[in-house]
Structure 1
C-alpha cells in the first residue's frame, strides 16, 4: 500500500474503544523497555563479535523479527510483566558448512557466561533470560544468495544429538515486517493519543528508570490494526492458560492483521474484522478437510503454519473462541447490559490482573463524574457522559465469567 501518514481515529474517545485501548496499553511493551531491548540486543551482538572468535566478522545482520519488528510485542503467555524479544542473527560464510545443531550449539557457547545470565538453547533459537523478566531469543540464519534482502534459512534442531528431524527452515522475517508496515500506515491520532497516555503514565511514576536507555522517540503504537493485533494475542494467551498443545503463533495472527488492515477505522471495528477474517479462513480450511495454511506473503516457502494447527480440532477450537469474542464485542458496541457487567466479561476475555489494573486506572479518571451524578442512561442501558469518561455496556451472557480476584465494578467501587 505504501500509504502516507493518515489522520486515523483516536481510540480513547469512543467508550468501548477506550477501554480496549487501555487494555492494549497495559499489555504492550512500554517505550522504556522497547528502548532497553534495543540496547540489549546491540550489546549481545557486540559481545559475540568481540569475544567469540568464530563470530568475528561473521554477523552480517542482527535485527528484530516478529512482534518486535512491527511494534506489536505484548507480555508473555500467563504473565503480565515478561516480554520475549525475537532477534535474527544472519551469519556469514564460516557457518555455511555446519549442521543446524552445530550452529545452534556455537551460538549457545558464544552466549554462555554473558553477564551471568541464564542461557537456554531452544529448537530454533538461543534464549537469554534477564533479571527483569525480559527474554532475548536469538535465532541464527544463513542468507540465501541471489534472493531478496535477508531471505534466509533458520536452524531447526532439538538436540542434544543430531536427528533426522534436524533441518533448515525457509524464512524472510524482514520481508514480512516490511509488508506489514506498508499495510498499516502511521495513524496520527492513534500515535499521538498513545504517546500522550505513555507520557501521563511516566509522569505518574517519576522515579522510573528512564535515564539509562536510548532515545524513545522512534517507538510508538501507530495504528488501530496493531492495537487489535495486540488484543487478539492477549485474548489467545488467556484462552491457552490451561490448555495443552501449541497455541496459534503470533506470526499467523500478524499476517491476518496485515491482510485485514483498515487504516482509519475504529479499534473495536478493526478487532471484530480481524477476528471474523480468522474465523472465516479456519472454517474454509475445515470444510475442505485440511488444517489452515498460511504463507509469508513475501516468500511462499516460509510457511507460518508449519507447527500450528496440529489438527482440525485445534483450529476449530480457536475459531470457537473467536466467535465468542466477536459476539461479546458486538454486544458491547450495542450497549445492551448494565455497566456493572463489563469487568466480569473483560476479565474472562483479557485476564484478571490486567483488567483490574485498567479498571482502577479508569476509576480514578471517571470517579468524580460518577459521584457527582452527572451521567445519564440511554433507553438501551448505555451511559451518556463526556466522551473522556463514558462507560459502555456489554451484553455477552454466553461468555461472562465470574470475577476472579478483584471485587471492583467498572467504576472502582465494591458491589453491595
Structure 2
C-alpha cells in the first residue's frame, strides 16, 4: 500500500509507481446512442431476440437478466444496433428520482441471445485501453456522484452522451489497467456466483410456498409431510386476528416504521435514509408491537396488491394510519407470515378491492379485509411447515449476508484502487 498522493490511488499492484494521467472520457472512448425500436414489434412470447432497457443494469453496475423486451425479428433495423458479446453499455435514462441507476455500466453476456441496442442506452466503443478497467471506473462512487449531479429531469432522470463523455478522471498505463481489470473481473465473477445461488434458493422457496399451502378450491396442499392427512379448514382473517387500533396518543414512541415488500418491516430512516413522517402528527400513528402484522396498500413490482409483513425487529414502533395493523391469535405466526409471502391470497384482494384506487395504492375496506379466507391446519402441522421454511430462510439470509459483504468489499476496493 502506498502513501496517498493526488496522482496515484491508495492501493496499487506491485511494480507500478507512475503517476496516473488525468483525462476526460471523451479523449479515450466514444459513446453511441441506440435505435428507436418500434413497440408494435415487441412481443410477450419468449424469443432469442431481446431489446435491452435500463432495467438490465444493476445498481452499482452489472448485467441483470430477466429484463428487456422480446422483439419480433420480422422488423428490419440497422445491423449496427445488435450488441456483440462483451460490449459495454451505460444507462441514459433512470426512473428513480435519486438517479441511483443512471449512468451505470453493464457487459453484454455471451449466452446465445441476440441483444438489441435501444435509444435509452449508450454503447462504449473505440476505447484505447482495457475495457474491464473502464467498466470498473464507471462503477465508482466518484463517477456516479458526477452523473447524479449533472442529471436532468424530475420524475425521470436523464443524462446525455455529451455529459458522460465530459467526465474528468485519471488513467494509469495499459498494463496497470489490465491488472486492475482482471482483479475486478474475478471479484465480480465470485459475486455473480453467490447471486445465482441466492436467486436459485429464492426460487426454491417460492416453489415450496406455492406447494405447501392449498389454493382456495383445495382441501389439502400439494406437498405435505407424511405424518399429516387431515383436510385443512378455512377461516377468515378476522377470526384469527384483531385490528390494532392503539394509537400513539401520548407520543411515547418516535421510531416510524415502514413496510417494504422486499425488506419487510424496517425503520423508515433506514429505508429512506431520512425521516418522511411529520413529528407533529405522530400521535395519530398506530403502535406496532413485536409480531404484529402490517398491511401496506402501496403497490410495487414486488407486491402487486401491497405487502403484509410481520414486525420482527424486536422493538415497538409506529406506522402511518394508512396501514392496516393486526394482531393474531390461535395460529402460528411464522406459518401465517409464510402464507402472506406467497401469492394465493392475492386472488381475494383482486376480486374484492375497490375500483378507482390510486395508481400506486390498492384500496380495500377494513371490513372486507377481515373476510379474507386463510387456509388453516392443526397447530402441529403449522409449526412443522414454518420450521421447514425457517431452515430455507436461514440459508437464504446467510447467502444474502455473504453477498452483502462481498459487495462492500468491492466498494472499498473501488474507492481505494481508483483516483
State the TM bucket, normalised to the shorter chain.
Answer: under 0.3
Q: Which has the higher helix share?
A: 1
When normalised by structure 1's length, the TM-score is: 0.24
Q: Which has the higher strand share?
A: 2
